Chain A
Amino acid sequence: MELITLHGIEKTYQMGDIAVPVLKGISLAINQGELIALTGSSGSGKSTLMNILGCLDRPTAGEYWLEGQETSQLSADARALLRNRKLGFVFQSFNLLARTSALENVAMPLTYSTENLSDAETRKRAAEMLARVGLADRLNHHPAQLSGGQQQRVAIARALINRPPVLFADEPTGNLDSKTSEEVLQMFEQLNAEDGITIIMVTHDPKVAGHAKRVIRMEDGLILDTLPAADQRRETSGGAA
C-alpha cells in the first residue's frame, strides 16, 4: 500500500531577485513498511526534501499525498496536527531539552496531542517507549548524563511516542561514532521489522545506507536513481576498488 506519493515536487527559494531552484520535480512513491536511505552529494536537496516530506515546509509546486491526503495546501495548524499524529522526526543533533529527564523529553509531544492523556498514562506511555529503545533503566537521566547513542535513542522514543506510521531521520548518525551508529541503525531495523514503521533516513555514509532496503540517490534537486540496497553496496564497493 502506498503511504507517500510525490508528484513533481518543486522547491524554489527566493533570494532577493534571484530564484534558487533546489528541488526540480521529484516524483516518488513510498510503501508502508519500507526502510529507505536518501543519499546524494552535499547540497543536492536531501534536507529540503525531508522537510517537505515531514510537513515542516511546503513545496513551491507539486503534490504530496500522505495516507491518501493531499498535504501541500494545508494550513500551518493543520500541518502541525499532521506532524503530531503521523510523522516522527529524528535529528542529527538529537535536540533534546536540556536539564529535563529522558522521560519528560519523550513525553513532550503528548502535550500537543489531541488525545488527552492523564499524567499517569503519559508517564506509562513514555516509559514503555523508552523500554522499547532499550533505555528502561535511564528514565530519569538528563541528556547530559547519557551517551550520544543513548541520547539519539531517547530522540527516537520521542519521535515514536504518538505512534506515527512514518519516521524521518536527517543524518541520524552524523554525530555518532561507528559503534553507536550501529546501535541506532539496529534500532531502526528492529522498529521497521517488528512494528512495521516506515523509516526514511538521510545519510552520507554508504555503510549506513547499507542497512536500508532501498536507497534513493539525489543529484542537484532530482532523483538520480533508486536501487535496492544490495546493488548500492556493490556499486560503492566496486567504485572504491
Chain B
Amino acid sequence: MKVYATARTAFKALRRNPMRAMLTTLGIVIGVGAVIAMMEIGAGASAALKKTIASMGANVLVIRPGTASSGGISFGAGTTTTLTPADCQAILRECPSLRNAAPMVRARAQVVYGNRNWIPNTIYGTTPAYLDVQDWGSLAEGEPFSDRDVLNGNRVCILGQTLVRELFDDESPLGKNIRIKNISFRVVGVLSAKGANMMGFDQDDVILAPWTTIKYRVSGTSLATTNQSPAATDSVNTLSNLYPTEQLALYPEQSNVQQADNPMPVRFANIDQIMAAANSSAEISPAIEEIGAVLRERHRLRAGEPDDFNIRDMAELTNTLSTTTRLMTNLLLAVAMISLLVGGVGIMNIMLVSVTERTREIGLRMAVGARGRDILRQFLVEAVVLCLTGGAMGIVLGHGGSLLVQLLLKWPVETSPAAIAAAVLVSAGVGIIFGFYPAWKASRLDPIEALRYE
C-alpha cells in the first residue's frame, strides 16, 4: 500500500518532466536492449551449436579395442581383436545409462552401379540400432534393414545422400542393386542428409549394411583386423591381374538354399568398434564407468591389468566449442553491461539535478511531516521506476532487435526468459545503486534551508 502510493508519487513526479525522463532513461533502454539482444542471439548460437554437435552424436561413446603390442612395439589403437558383438549386447543389457549400442565393422571398397563407381568414405557394417545411436532420425526413403537381415547376413544396404548423387544422379536407388567388391547389395533405404561434421568430414558419404554381411562377405576375414586401405581391399587398376589382392575364394559361393540349409556356424567374430549412446549428456560419465566394468568382467581382466579397450566420448569437443561461444557471448555481454553502467551514471546525474531542483519541494514535504527515510524512499523509488521503465523499453527494443536479426540475417535466435528476468533485476539494481546517492543527499537536507533554497 505504502510502496504503491510512493510509486504513484514517483510516476507523477516523472510525468512532470516527461522529456527529461525519456532522455535520462535512454542509457538504460540501450543498455538493457543490448543485453537482451546479446543474450537472445547468444542463446540462439549455442542452441545451433548444440544441434550441430548432436548431429555428430552428442551423447555417443565409441568403444574400440585396445592396443596390441609385440616385443615392445605398439600397433596403435584398435589393433587387438577383443571386441565381439556379444560385448555389444552385454553392455546394452547391463548398462542402465545406455540408450542403445551398435557393433561396427568398417570397410573401404569401391562401389559400382552400372557404369559408375565411387569409393565412399566408409562402409559401415552395423545393426539397425546404429541409426538410433547416431540420432539419424527417419530415412529419406525406404526402410532400414532389420535385425533379421543382420542375423542372416543379407545383402542389403542403406545409402548416404552423397552416394545417391554420385551413383544414381538423384534418381531413386530403392530396390536397385549396387556392387561392393563384386557382391551385389540391394538398396533398401536412403539416409537423410546430415551434411559435413565439424571437421569437414562428409557424413553423407557412407553406406550402411548388416555387419555380418560386411564382415564375412566384403571384408572376407573373420579373425584378422580389417585393413582399411582401399588399395588393399580392392583394385581397379590393370595390374590387379598380375598382383591379385583379392583373397582367394577357396569355396564356391553358397546359393540361398544352401545358406538356409547350413546356418552360419557360431564362431568368434571380432568387430572394429562399438558405438553406444548414453541417455543424456549427464549420463555419459556413468555410462563410461558401467561399460568399463562390464567389459573388464567379460574379458576376464584381473584387477591391475590394463584395459584391453578404450572408450571415448565427444565431451572434449563439445566443451571446446561451447566454451568458445560462451566466451563470445560473455564478451558481448560485458560490453552491454558497460553501457548499462553508463546509463546508470546518467540516471545518477539527472537524479542529482532533480534533487537540487526540487530542494524546496523536499523542504516542504519535510515540513508537513516527511521523515528523512520517506524522502530517501521517494527518490529511490523514482530512480527505480525510471530504470524499470527504461528496462521494459529496453526489453522490447532488444527483443525486437534480435527478431530483426533473425529476419534479416537469418541468425538463429532464442527468446530467453532468464535474460528478461535478469534485465528487470539488473535495471532495478542500477536504479537502486545509482539512485541511492542522490536520494540519500535529498534525505539529509535540512528542512529550513531546503525551504529557503532559491
Q: Chain A residues in contact with chain B, CB under 8 A?
A: 51, 54, 56-57, 76-77, 80-81, 83-85, 89, 91, 95, 97-100, 104, 108-109, 111-113, 116, 158-159, 162
Chain A residues, CB < 8 A from B364:
91, 95, 97
Partner of B1 from the list A57, A84, A108, A116 (CB cut-off 8 Å) is: A116
A42→B251 CA distance, assembly (Å): 133
Whether B368 contacts A109 by the Cβ 8 Å rule is yes
B367 at the interface (CB under 8 A from A): yes
The answer to whether the Cβ of B9 comes within 8 Å of any Cβ in the partner chain is yes
Once the chains bind, are A112 and B365 in contact (CB under 8 Å)?
yes
13 of the cross-chain contacts (CB-CB < 8 Å) are A51-B448, A56-B367, A56-B447, A56-B451, A57-B448, A81-B369, A81-B371, A84-B369, A95-B363, A97-B364, A104-B12, A109-B368, A111-B5
B148 shortest CB reach to chain A, Å: 79
Residues of B in contact with A (beta carbons under 8 Å apart): 1-2, 5-6, 9, 12, 16, 360-361, 363-374, 447-448, 451
Q: Which of B368, B370, B371 has its CB near the most chain A CB atoms (within 10 A)?
A: B368
How far, in angstroms, from A116 to B3 measured CA to CA in the complex? 12
> Which residue of A has the minimal Cβ distance to B16?
A99
How many CB-defined contacts (below 8 Å) exist between A and B? 65
Query: Which residues of B lie under 8 Å from residue A89 when comparing CB positions?
Result: 367-368
- B residues less than 8 Å from A56 (CB atoms): 366-367, 447-448, 451
The interface residues of chain A lying within 8 Å CB-to-CB of B373 are 77
Chain A residue, CB-CB nearest to B2: A116
> Hey, which chain B residues are within 8 Å of A97, CB to CB?
361, 364
CA distance A41 to B73 in the complex (A): 115
A35 to B365, CA, bound (A): 26
Would B9 and A83 count as touching, CB distance under 8 A?
no
Residues of B within 8 A of A108 (CB): 365, 368
Chain B residues, CB < 8 A from A51: 448
Contacting residue for A83 out of B5, B367, B451, CB 8 A:
B367
Among candidates B360, B363, B369, B448, residue contacting A112 with C-beta atoms closer than 8 Å: B369
Whether A80 lies near B370 (C-beta < 8 A) is: yes
Q: How far is the CB of B454 from chain A (nearest CB, A)?
A: 10
List the A side residues contacting B360 at CB < 8 Å: 95
Q: Is the CB of A112 within 8 A of B447?
A: no
CA distance A81 to B367 in the complex (A): 10
Q: Tell me, in angstroms, the Cα distance from A85 to B360 when the chains sit together.
A: 21
Whole-angstrom distance between the Cβ of A237 and the nearest chain B Cβ? 34
Q: Are A111 and B367 in contact (CB under 8 A)?
A: no
A100 nearest CB across to chain B (Å)? 7
Known pairs A98-B16, A111-B9; A85 contacts B448 (CB<8 A): no
Let me know if B451 and A112 touch, CB within 8 A. Answer: no
3 tightest CB-CB pairs across the interface, nearest first? Answer: A84-B369, A109-B368, A112-B369
Residues on B with C-beta less than 8 A from A113 are: 369
Report the separation of the CA atoms of residues A98 and B9 in the bound assembly, to the nearest whole angstrom: 13
| Bound Cα distance A106, B127 (Å) | 85
Verify A91–B451 contact, CB threshold 8 A.
Answer: yes
Query: 15 extra interchain contacts, Cβ-Cβ under 8 A, other than A85-B369, A109-B369?
Result: A56-B367, A57-B448, A76-B371, A77-B371, A80-B369, A83-B368, A83-B369, A89-B368, A95-B360, A95-B451, A100-B16, A111-B5, A111-B6, A112-B368, A112-B369
